[in-house]
Amino acid sequence: MAARKACGGALMRPLTPKSPQWDIFCRVIDNFGDIGVSWRLARILAYDFGQPVRLWVDNVHALAQLEPAFFAQHRTADQTPTHAPIEVIPWTHPAPPILPAPFVIEAFGCTLPSDYQARMPGRTVAWFNLEYFSAEAWVEGCHALYSPEANGLAKQFVFPSTLPTAGGLLCETSLHPERERFMHDADERARWAAHWQIPLPQTQGLSLLLFGYENAALPLLIGELQALKAPPVTLYIPEGRLLSSAAQAVNQPKLVAGQTLALGNLTLHILPFLPQAQFDRLLWLCDINFVRGEDSLVRALWAGKPLIWQIYPTEDHAHWAKLNALLDSISHELSPESRAAWHRINHAWNQQTLSPGDWQRFISALPELSLHAERTRLTLRAQTELASWLVKTAFERLQCATN
């Protein structure tokens, strides 16, 4: 990576219906995080900034799971969604010979097709490499740096983060107002729950969302939830990788979406995989959110509820530093007891060795953690929003290029 580059004093151009086009490239490595982030970004650029977007994705099926309605509406005879503010391009090999856009986002270092790279000079004015989320201190120094590339262009690195001087977090303009409405309007929640067939938790109860990878600590967690005296506990587990651990924990051969189990004080609902915007609402509904990967972590931060993050594990164990950095970045205002309880439960869940004490200390700290999660949401909301940063930076580069 090389030094920062700037085009001093350039002003952002007003956005017009003829705004330039963005190409976002996404390779689905596994699960839903890569496409989850790319799809959110495409939607924000298209709907909040009025930007035409082409989303290149090598696994259209994964995207269709996140957004079934979009696919149903915009499908053509050749099965590719098109004629929408967002055009989805199946990233085949070889890639279709399409002229590069002025603004290009390479998600998570997915490496653009070589023919496309060769055609970028003279057409592309801003090329971003969107990195994975991190709150580690070094990202503040690396965010927005450029790296010279073989085609003569410079690629700029963008780091999503909770740290105030990095790239910020993706957030739709309507997200916080919609969340306010949803949280304060019982009728809206009831309509939503009826539409998506999600049984609502009891008003005075404790509700949890459990979205994660397989986890050997799940039986203990379920045991602790059953043992909680009043209030009644509602646990939602979405279809996916955690279901096999959950089935073992409740002595069932198998769990399927739509199933409800009454386990004493605990009611367990297995949910179908919801469209992305509805997944956000599930996080708003619950008092505690277990999340994983990257996009659901950011969404849990926006929910303003205490979260437990099962981080995507890496072979070199670098994920521990990343987990600690996130916890440190947003816990300095907590009392030492609550801070220790929150750090411990996150560590224990990731080590898959939860103890009853870890859970009980976390539950004792819950009132303070809940207030703190809401304060964190407001703090993060006041920081940079990632898509706005990209738009501003891209248009400054365009201004430089056309002057």
Marked catalytic residue, from 23, 34, 295, 358: 34
Calpha distance 397→403 (Å, rounded) = 10
Phi, psi of 86 (to 5 degrees): -115, 125
Which of 24, 66, 145, 283 forms a contact with ligand TRH (CB under 6 A)?
Answer: 66
Q: Residue 298 or 334: which CB sits closer to ligand TRH?
A: 298
Query: Could you say whether residue 36 binds ligand TRH (CB under 6 A)?
Result: yes
Query: Could you say whether residue 38 binds ligand TRH (CB under 6 A)?
Result: no
Closest CA to 386 of 111, 38, 66: 38
Per-residue mark of binding to ligand TRH, 117-146 (x: CB under 6 A)? ---------------x--------------
For residue 14, whether the previous peptide bond is cis, meaning omega lies within 30 degrees of 0, is no
Per-residue mark of binding to ligand TRH, 221-260 (x: CB under 6 A)? -----------------x----------------------
Q: Residue 59 or 399: which CB sits closer to ligand TRH?
A: 59
Q: Residue 309 or 362: which CB sits closer to ligand TRH?
A: 309
The two beta strands, 266-271 and 260-263, are: antiparallel
Calpha distance 292→210 (Å, rounded) = 9
Least CB distance to ligand TRH at residue 103 (A): 23
Q: Residue 146 or 213: which CB sits closer to ligand TRH?
A: 213
Q: How far is CA 385 from CA 159, 163, 203, 359, 392, in A?
A: 12, 12, 33, 34, 11
Catalytic (active site) residue 131: no
Least CB distance to ligand TRH at residue 145 (A): 21
- Position 402: which residue type? T
Least CB distance to ligand TRH at residue 30 (A): 5
Show the tokens assigned to 275. 């469209």
Q: How far is CA 115 from CA 35, 40, 57, 93, in A?
A: 23, 27, 17, 11
Catalytic (active site) residue 87: no
Which of 22, 25, 27, 33 forms a contact with ligand TRH (CB under 6 A)?
Answer: 33
3-state DSSP assignment of residue 385? strand
Count Cβ atoms within 10 A of the Cβ of residue 383 and give its class: 0-12 exposed, 13-18 middle, 19 or more buried: middle
Name every residue whose Cβ is closer than 8 Å to that of residue 338 and which is 6 or more positions away in sequence: 365, 368, 369, 372
Q: Residue 47 or 132: which CB sits closer to ligand TRH?
A: 132
Calpha distance 213→327 (Å, rounded) = 19
Query: Could you say whether residue 296 binds ligand TRH (CB under 6 A)?
Result: yes
**3-state DSSP helix/strand/coil percent for the chain, to nearest 5?**
40, 15, 40
Stretch that binds ligand TRH, among 23-31, 145-153, 188-196, 340-348 (CB under 6 A): 23-31
Marked catalytic residue, from 87, 106, 294, 295: 294
Query: Could you say whether residue 49 binds ligand TRH (CB under 6 A)?
Result: no
Query: Could you say whether residue 34 binds ligand TRH (CB under 6 A)?
Result: yes
Query: Could you say whether residue 31 binds ligand TRH (CB under 6 A)?
Result: yes
Count Cβ atoms within 10 A of the Cβ of residue 225 and give its class: 0-12 exposed, 13-18 middle, 19 or more buried: buried
Which of 49, 182, 312, 320 forms a contact with ligand TRH (CB under 6 A)?
Answer: 312
Per-residue mark of binding to ligand TRH, 254-293 (x: CB under 6 A)? -------------------xx-x--x------------xx
Least CB distance to ligand TRH at residue 276 (A): 4
Active site residues: 34, 294
Residues found near ligand TRH in the complex (CB under 6 A): 29-34, 36, 66, 132, 211, 238, 273-274, 276, 279, 292-296, 312
